[in-house]
Structure 1
Amino acid sequence: MIQLKHSSRQVGFTLVEMVTVILILGILVIGVSSFVIFGTRIFVESSSIDQVLGQSRFAVERMTRDIRNSVPNSVRIRTDNSGNFQCIELLPIEASSSYLTLPIYPNASALTGTIVDNNISVGNGLFAIVYPLANESITGVNDVYQASRNKRFAVQSASSSANIITLTFGGSVQFAEQSPIKRIYFAAQPVSYCFESIAGSAEVILNRYSNYGYIVSQPVPLTMGSGVLMAENITNNLLLEPAIKVTEQNLMTNSIVHLEPRFSVNGETFKYQHQVQVTNVP
């Protein structure tokens, strides 16, 4: 009888093989994790840059629209002597037209006037402005903000008939001067854009203020209530590197507002050099 012998063989890993596999897996994990961390860092930094770029574009575009659409000679700038803020104030136009009859000196004062109805909406809450000529930075007075100049009067109501709008004022009024082209503007309330330094920091923020009323002397941020944050990460030194500059108008050209805010993100900076022409045709 033949007996068959069965041999048993043990299968496994040696210590050297296990250590080798662990080292290889560790190298792979380190490589993959470094790639993931690097990719995540790029994504976070790109997102931060895109956010600041989008925010800055929005702020500059909003300022541009308001400045370009402002009542003639309503733009004025105030910079704090300590460099804590720099503000630009203006009066956005809500509507404009040509007037037919208005109580304008030397005519007697009256409660009403008529304008051309060119599909505009005029009513309570708006002010009628005629020939705002005096600019504060040149003459020391301002036809827009100083009620005593008799260039701005509140509209109480308006009614339209046969392409003519009849304005009713809040009282008997008399405008100071005729407009050479019989132009009339309608506006509500002034707005201000203020670059403000953050205490204890080199950072500057941009706020927009509104609904604070007409003030003869250009107001400062603390007197205008709560502003709406428009942009952050601004690094201008407002005394040495103003964020706003103005080239005043003359007989040949309109005034130009220069917007030059500098933004910083992730150690990199970029600066706008944007010019806005202010149409001064009262």
Structure 2
Amino acid sequence: MRLNSRALPPGSASGFTLVELVTVILILGVLVVGVSSFVIFGTRIFVESSSVDRVLSQSRFAMERLIREIRSAVPGSVRLRTEAGYQCLELLPIAASSSYLDMPFKPGAKAEVGTGIATTASVAAGQLLLIYPLTPADVYADSAASQGKMFSLKAVQRSGDSWDFTFTQQIRFDEASPRQRFYVASGPVSYCIFHGGSNDGDLLRYAGYGINHPSQLAPTDMGAGVLMAQGIVNDFSQPAQLPIELTPATLVNNALVQLRPRFAVNGESFQYQHQVQVINVP
């Protein structure tokens, strides 16, 4: 079968009418709006989910680190400072712990040396040795005193299964431990949560600022802190809403730290609820 094409009259041209062009433009516009809305919506979901994941992972890491250090704190070393613009939890992490064999105790004579059972942990000069600390006053005391419950080590030498300790001066411990236990620590750390100011909602960790401060230091006196988490929105005006609460240890009870920081992201919030015990076994 043969098809014959019809020739166009002279002076005429093929193309689209104005109505057809407008129709096509409208259809394309609707398609572009639909596709762009889908892309924008998907991008927004991705950005928001990424923000939530970042805050969740950051907060989990910070809480896990804080909980581990609280659990490994020297008995009697945990203390809390609460001000209008921040809360700071200070503690002395244990570097090593064992039983002593010979130490100078009151009312005996002062001495510069002592002996303890060695462990796999590392102990070095410059660290602190504590025996029977019961309260923060026993830990954050005058480092120049020759009698107390904590003293700085001048040298440590291992002899078989024992450590030979040399102190920086002639010392004498106040009391013997019922279990002949001693602790070794390098220095205190502080976790501070801020409310207001340039660090609003931040959790910072401070270390390396020294020890023997009878009054707990403010964050501005601890040097530069390390940012651990952001987005904490607890109401500091309500005591029941504070992110940290401390119940000090007694002779029959362990110290109890309650952690309840509330984090906010993208208009939503979530709160941690943890109770951490500091085992009171001096």
TM-score norm. by structure 2 comes to: 0.90
Report what 1:244 is aligned to: 244
- Write the distance in 1 (CA, Å) between the matches of 2:188 and 2:126: 13
SS of 1:48's partner is: helix
- Write the distance in 2 (CA, Å) between the matches of 1:273 and 1:57: 12
Shift of 1:125: 1.8
1:61 aligned to which of 60, 64, 79: 64
Aligned residue pairs total 270
Do 2:90 and 2:189's aligned partners in 1 also have CA atoms closer than 8 Å? yes
SS of 1:281's partner is: coil
Shift of 1:253: 3.5
Shift of 1:118: 1.8
Do 2:99 and 2:117's aligned partners in 1 also have CA atoms closer than 8 Å? yes
2:50 aligned to which of 47, 52, 60: 47
Distance 1:166-1:180 versus aligned 2 partners, 3 A rule: same
Report what 2:169 is aligned to: 171
Letter in 1 for 2:42: G
Shift of 1:91: 0.4
Letter in 2 for 1:163: D
Shift of 1:199: 2.4
SS of 2:25's partner is: helix
Do 1:198 and 1:205's aligned partners in 2 also have CA atoms closer than 8 Å? no
1:146 aligned to which of 141, 145, 170: 141
Do 1:155 and 1:169's aligned partners in 2 also have CA atoms closer than 8 Å? yes
Which of 149-158 and 7-16 deviates more? Answer: 7-16
Do 2:132 and 2:176's aligned partners in 1 also have CA atoms closer than 8 Å? yes
Distance 1:7-1:168 versus aligned 2 partners, 3 A rule: same
Report what 1:139 is aligned to: none
Shift of 1:187: 0.4
Shift of 1:64: 0.5
Gaps of 5+ in 1: 137-141
TM-score norm. by structure 1 comes to: 0.90
- Write the distance in 1 (CA, Å) between the matches of 2:236 and 2:21: 65
Report what 2:269 is aligned to: 269
2:31 aligned to which of 28, 31, 34: 28
Letter in 1 for 2:156: A
CA-based RMSD of the aligned residues comes to 2.0
* Pairing 1:115-126 to 2, within 5 Å after superposition: 115-126=116-127
- Write the distance in 1 (CA, Å) between the matches of 2:113 and 2:6: 121
SS of 2:235's partner is: coil
Letter in 2 for 1:221: P
Report what 2:201 is aligned to: 204
- Write the distance in 2 (CA, Å) between the matches of 1:129 and 1:227: 26
Letter in 1 for 2:208: N
> What does the per-residue CA deviation read over 1:223-250, in whole Å, with 9 as the maximum and x for residues that have no partner?
2122111111111122312110123334
* Pairing 1:189-200 to 2, within 5 Å after superposition: 189-199=187-197
Shift of 1:153: 0.6
* Pairing 1:73-152 to 2, within 5 Å after superposition: 73-80=76-83, 83-133=84-134, 135-136=135-136, 142-147=137-142, 148=145, 150-152=148-150
Do 1:94 and 1:188's aligned partners in 2 also have CA atoms closer than 8 Å? yes
SS of 1:156's partner is: strand
- Write the distance in 1 (CA, Å) between the matches of 2:121 and 2:70: 21
- Write the distance in 2 (CA, Å) between the matches of 1:280 and 1:11: 95
Shift of 1:161: 1.6
Q: Identity percentage over the alignment?
A: 52
Do 2:97 and 2:183's aligned partners in 1 also have CA atoms closer than 8 Å? yes
Shift of 1:20: 1.2
SS of 1:119's partner is: coil
Shift of 1:6: 7.5
Report what 2:280 is aligned to: 280
Gaps of 5+ in 2: none
SS of 2:197's partner is: coil
Which of 192-201 and 117-126 deviates more? Answer: 192-201
- Write the distance in 1 (CA, Å) between the matches of 2:6 and 2:45: 62
